[in-house]
């Protein structure tokens, strides 16, 4: 039995999808435990990857875990998620098409639903403009959950109850925002009918997912927990308020899937060889000039730094070891997966932040508040770059000396071994150490 968690060590978009897809080759279950349609990953399924389809095809998923694309791997959308039913119905169909049969996809009765009024509320509350959220209604759906008025996936199994709760929530919003046209256009009865109809597509998968996972672990099966977003976007441990509304850290496995982190054998921290962030909030090592542009790319390549979900250009900068040491502490990473090392090829000098300077003081700990972090200036060490194309490297020995030194510097500073290095977009462009 192995239970593995794949956790973002930065501000999301670290390349967790690639790692999860690789690890799921040996997994029986792939589980999402936090977030919703704010996440996104593109998976290319084709010959040689165990698919039932004949030619490679590209799939974009926002809800379904990457591992579920493997025919032997069941997918779970656990209770910590917020699920948009129309998107789920669509992704369920896509998965069915990819697998060439009915998917084994289980959805927690306890997961909350994102309903069409949630993105409207998000805009009305200003979260979209102030925090630069993904505008998918994530925050308002979690607000309803915490306020104990949310609709859950399990409510879909009880149409009358579902209709009644939906009506109550719409009425509440109409009273809060009188005269709002978008909200006034919502017809709760018709909306409930429509949602109940699309939910028929995935209804058979609605169940107690925590129990399924406990039974799988007891049988000795391998379970892969796929974190969405990253540690610095965690609602508690991220750069609040510039965070998402769920637990993107390893603790999310406990509260979001009902499996104690004590059962995890491996906690893999996924990081890029540099840093990116989408949306507002402090980012000490951000490079707004030429280096930032160089790291971002032009968008011509799908691997360039533009969001999978929203297409927004990502803010880019140097690697931040202060933030990474913090992420390693919070998550107790057993190993690191270092992604996109190839992007650094050709840069003469590579900077890494080893500490911050804040109001004349040198600090080595990640500050708990966004305001202080916003005043921090990075203290850099510079390492020599390399010019050789490393995309063809498949072993540690094949990497140029300076690339090896860069990796060793990171693992020593973070105190966690780098077990995997990604040198390109495809699954083969990977070095296992
Ligand atoms: P929300 O999750 O849509 O509420 O957005 C809150 C913050 O998290 C914003 O800064 C988003 O850009 C960021 N965010 C949410 N999901 C992702 C993701 O999957 N990758 C990177 N950033 C994300």
Query: Residue 109: what pLDDT?
Result: 98
**Cβ-count burial of 264 within 10 angstroms (0-12 exposed, 13-18 middle, 19+ buried)?**
buried
With respect to residue 244, please indicate whether it lies within any of the assigned structural domains: no
H helix or E strand, kind and range, residue 277: strand 275-277
With respect to residue 101, please indicate whether it lies within any of the assigned structural domains: no
Q: 275 and 409 share a domain?
A: yes
Ligand 1 pocket, 114 CB below 6 A?
no
State mean pLDDT over 307-330: 93
With respect to residue 220, please indicate whether it lies within any of the assigned structural domains: no
Contact 45, 427 (CB under 8 A): no
Q: 288 and 420 share a domain?
A: yes
Cα(295) to centroid(ligand 1), Å: 20
Query: Residue 274: what pLDDT?
Result: 98
Query: Residue 298: what pLDDT?
Result: 83
Q: 282 and 420 share a domain?
A: yes
With respect to residue 32, please indicate whether it lies within any of the assigned structural domains: no
Query: Residue 158: what pLDDT?
Result: 97
Cα(406) to centroid(ligand 1), Å: 29
What is the chain's mean pLDDT, rounded? 94
In DSSP terms, 319 is beta-bridged to 352
Q: Is the pLDDT of residue 422 over 90?
A: yes
Closest CA to 82 of 61, 56, 62: 62
State mean pLDDT over 339-347: 96
Q: 321 and 180 share a domain?
A: no
Q: 199 and 274 share a domain?
A: no
Pocket residue to mutate for ligand 1, from 244, 282, 315, most atoms within 8 A of Cβ: 244
Q: 419 and 291 share a domain?
A: yes
With respect to residue 186, please indicate whether it lies within any of the assigned structural domains: yes
Boundary (domain end) residue, out of 203, 224, 251: 203
Closest CA to 115 of 191, 190, 199: 191
**Proportion of the chain above pLDDT 90, given as a percent:** 89
With respect to residue 100, please indicate whether it lies within any of the assigned structural domains: no
Q: 191 and 297 share a domain?
A: no
Q: 397 and 301 share a domain?
A: yes
41 an active-site residue? yes
Cα(386) to centroid(ligand 1), Å: 33
List the catalytic residue out of 21, 26, 28, 41: 41
DSSP 329-347: HHHT-SEEEEE-GGGGTT-
Ligand 1 pocket, 226 CB below 6 A?
no
**pTM of this structure:** 0.96
Boundary (domain end) residue, out of 184, 203, 222: 203
pLDDT in tens, 287-305: 999 999 999 998 888 789 9
Q: Is the pLDDT of residue 1 over 70?
A: no
Cα(210) to centroid(ligand 1), Å: 26
Domain of residue 355 covers: 270-433
112 an active-site residue? no
Ligand 1 pocket, 279 CB below 6 A?
yes
Q: Is the pLDDT of residue 51 over 70?
A: no
Q: C-alpha angle with apex 162: 158 to 168, nearest 5 degrees?
A: 150
Ligand 1 pocket, 139 CB below 6 A?
yes
Q: 288 and 191 share a domain?
A: no
Boundary (domain end) residue, out of 203, 233, 257: 203
State mean pLDDT over 381-388: 98
Query: Residue 128: what pLDDT?
Result: 81
Ligand 1 pocket, 403 CB below 6 A?
no
Q: Is the pLDDT of residue 48 over 80?
A: no
**pLDDT higher for 425 or 171?**
171
Cα(137) to centroid(ligand 1), Å: 11
Band of residue 383 on the pLDDT scale cut at 50, 70, 90: very high
With respect to residue 309, please indicate whether it lies within any of the assigned structural domains: yes
pLDDT in tens, 126-158: 888 899 999 999 999 999 999 999 999 999 999
- Which CATH number does the domain housing residue 427 bear? 3.90.170.10
Q: 197 and 297 share a domain?
A: no
Q: 182 and 306 share a domain?
A: no
Structural domain total, the chain: 2
Q: 431 and 303 share a domain?
A: yes
With respect to residue 88, please indicate whether it lies within any of the assigned structural domains: no
List the catalytic residue out of 13, 144, 234, 342: 13
């Amino acid at each position: 039995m192995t239970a593995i968690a794949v956790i973002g060590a930065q501000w999301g978009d670290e390349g967790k999808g690639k790692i999860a897809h690789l690890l799921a080759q040996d997994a029986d279950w792939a589980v999402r435990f936090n977030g919703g349609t704010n996440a996104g990953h593109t998976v290319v399924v084709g010959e040689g990857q165990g698919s039932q389809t004949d030619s490679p095809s590209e799939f974009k998923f926002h809800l379904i875990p990457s591992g579920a694309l493997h025919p032997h791997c069941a997918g779970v959308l656990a209770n910590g998620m917020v699920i948009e039913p129309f998107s789920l119905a669509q992704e369920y169909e896509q998965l069915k098409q990819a697998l060439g049969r009915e998917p084994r996809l289980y959805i927690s009765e306890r997961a909350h639903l994102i309903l069409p009024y949630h993105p409207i509320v998000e805009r009305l509350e200003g979260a979209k403009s102030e925090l630069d959220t993904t505008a998918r209604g994530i925050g308002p759906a979690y607000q309803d959950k915490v306020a104990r008025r949310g609709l859950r996936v399990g409510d879909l199994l009880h149409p009358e109850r579902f209709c009644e709760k939906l009506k109550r929530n719409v009425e509440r919003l109409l009273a809060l925002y009188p005269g709002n046209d978008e909200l006034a256009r919502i017809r709760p009865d018709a909306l409930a009918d429509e949602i109940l109809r699309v939910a028929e597509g995935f209804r058979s998968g609605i169940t107690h997912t925590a129990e399924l996972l406990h039974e799988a672990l007891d049988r000795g099966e391998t379970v892969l927990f796929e974190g969405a977003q990253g540690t610095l976007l965690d609602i508690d441990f991220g750069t609040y308020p510039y965070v998402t509304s769920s637990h993107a850290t390893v603790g999310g496995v406990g509260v979001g899937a009902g499996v104690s982190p004590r059962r995890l054998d491996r906690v893999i921290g996924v990081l890029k060889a540099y840093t990116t962030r989408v949306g507002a909030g402090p980012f000490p090592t951000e490079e707004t000039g030429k280096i930032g542009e160089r790291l971002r790319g032009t968008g011509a390549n799908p691997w360039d730094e533009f969001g999978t979900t929203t297409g927004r250009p990502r803010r880019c900068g140097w690697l931040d070891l202060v933030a990474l040491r913090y992420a390693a502490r919070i998550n107790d990473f057993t190993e690191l997966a270092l992604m996109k090392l190839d992007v650094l090829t050709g840069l003469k000098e590579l900077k890494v932040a080893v500490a911050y300077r804040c109001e004349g003081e040198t600090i080595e700990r990640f500050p708990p508040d966004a305001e202080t972090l916003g005043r921090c200036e990075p203290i850099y060490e510079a390492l020599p770059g390399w010019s050789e194309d490393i995309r063809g490297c498949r072993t540690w020995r094949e990497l140029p000396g300076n690339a090896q030194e860069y990796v060793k510097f990171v693992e020593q500073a973070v105190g966690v071994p780098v077990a995997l290095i990604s040198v390109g977009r495809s699954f083969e462009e990977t070095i296992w150490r």
